[in-house]
Amino acid sequence: MSFDGKIRVEYARDLHLPDVGLWLDPHRSKPFAFVSHAHSDHVARHQQILCSPITAHLLKVRYRISPERMMPCEFFQARSIAGFQFTLLPAGHIAGSAMIHINCLNSGATLLYTGDYKLRSSRTVETASWLKADTLIMESTFGLPRYVLPPAEEIEKQIVTFVSDTLDRGDTPILLGYSLGKAQEIAAILAAHDLPFLSTASVAAMTEACRKMGMSLPEAALFHDHVPLGFSLIAPPQAVRQAAVARLPRRRSAIMTGWAIDPGARFRYRTDAAIPLSDHADYPDLLRTVELVEPKNILTVHGSTRELAAALRQRNHNAWSIHGNDQLEFPLG
């Protein structure tokens, strides 16, 4: 897909900028790729990887990707390669997550790719930043109007209340979130309220990796097969099916996910509670991003792409789903 006078964008299972020679978060190995963050669905063993220094460290620790393949770039420091200027910006998703802004030095055309991001601030992640761009490629995970997340303070209160109520009952609180990203945010919230906790091995490993890169968190205390009275357990979602966790007596679990907005989320995840702690932009933040970036053209990726693009067209933006499955609206009357 291309727009006149703009940086061309191609999509065939993966996003490609042919003028730049760069792939954006491709799932398969490529010669030169931007990796926005270290979640597995955005990672492959590329020949050369453009990413933030924190993401480079996490890729080495978590996936054993050789540092020789990395091209780490500090936030806000522009780098020129083959006639294009690249600038990485904090995305606010997880530690080290980055947006990429690209400027064609010849034509002046600009493009911003968000990757996974959020505009809301949090305790553990760099607050998102942005630059204006002609073309905006934006995620649309929560691209439906019903996905409006509560303020961070309210979500934090829900977590603390769940933990306190569970402990008062003599039960063990189990807080479920991805080992990288969500788990560290949960840990920071508990630490801020002087609530002690243990971490499963995968959570502890990622917490220590983040601590090594400067994240302010207490050293992870490792869970084996027992949680002391008064402690919580931070674990990845799949841990509730593992024997060591399943054997814990009198446990109550809470899943941390933006999908908690959906009715019946706790039944879907088979937990006692669902709390809308999310590391993605909600619907109001998606709309606000467009206002901040002021793009002439918008491509939506990852999620409710068609619905978000349609909503943006109703707001007089030239917006299209990357999948090409848009339904055109014809005004009547």
For residues 149 and 18, give the distance between their C-alpha atoms in angstroms, rounded to a whole number. 37
Instruction: Note whether 264 and 317 are same-domain residues.
Output: no
Domain boundary residue, one of 237, 257, 275: 275
Q: 259 to each of 63, 139, 148, 274, 316, how far by Cα in Å?
A: 27, 16, 10, 8, 29
What pLDDT tens digit does each residue of the chain (333 aa) get?
Answer: 544 448 999 998 899 999 999 999 999 999 999 999 999 787 888 999 999 999 999 999 998 999 999 999 999 999 998 899 999 999 999 999 999 999 999 999 999 999 999 999 999 999 999 999 999 999 999 999 999 999 999 999 999 999 999 999 999 999 999 999 999 999 999 999 999 999 999 999 999 999 999 999 988 899 998 999 999 999 999 888 888 888 898 999 999 999 999 999 999 999 999 999 999 999 999 999 999 999 999 999 999 999 999 999 999 999 999 987 665 544 444
* DSSP code, position 158: H
- 113 plus 221 within the same structural domain: no
List the alpha helices (DSSP H) in the chain: 53-63, 152-168, 182-192, 201-212, 243-246, 265-269, 283-293, 305-314
Is residue 124 located within the same domain as residue 165?
no
Shared-domain flag, residues 97 and 186: no
Residue written as token pair 């996905």: 147
| Confidence (pLDDT) at 236 | 95
pLDDT of residue 43: 80
Q: How far apart are the C-alpha atoms of 64 and 195, rounded to whole Å?
A: 33
Distance, CA of 244 to CA of 67 (rounded, Å): 35
Counting the structural domains of the chain, the total is: 2
Query: Residue 257 sits in a domain of what CATH number?
Result: 3.40.50
pLDDT given at position 244:
83
- Specify whether 192 is located in the same domain as 228: yes
Give the span between the Cα atoms of 23 and 46, in whole angstroms: 10
- For residue 220, tell me if it sits in a domain: yes
Host domain of residue 250: 152-275
Q: Are residues 105 and 24 in the same domain?
A: yes
Residues 254 and 192 placed together within one structural domain of the fold: yes
Same domain, residue pair 138 and 75: yes
Residue with tokens 């309220």: 193
DSSP-derived 3-state class of residue 189: helix
pLDDT of amino acid 267: 92
Residue 329 lies in a domain: no
Same domain, 289 and 271: no
Instruction: Report the CATH number that the domain containing residue 131 is assigned in CATH.
Output: 3.60.15.10
The dihedral over CA atoms of 202, 208, 210, 215, expressed in degrees to the nearest 10, equals 130
Residues 158 and 303 in one domain: no
In a domain, 74, yes or no: yes
- C-alpha 309/C-alpha 320 separation (Å) is 5
For residue 207, is it within any domain?
yes
> What is the distance between the alpha carbons of residues 70 and 65, in angstroms, rounded to a whole number?
8
Q: Answer yes or no: is 188 within a domain.
A: yes
3 part of a folded domain: no
Domain match, 139 and 229 both:
no
- Name the nearest CA neighbour of 113 among 127, 130, 96, 125: 130
Sign (positive or negative) of CA dihedral 293, 298, 302, 305: positive
**Same domain (yes/no): 173, 249:** yes
Cα distances from 72 to residues 50, 51, 56, 157, in angstroms, run: 6, 5, 6, 37
Q: Residue 132 falls within a domain, yes or no?
A: yes
CB atoms within 10 A of CB 26: 19
37 in a structural domain: yes
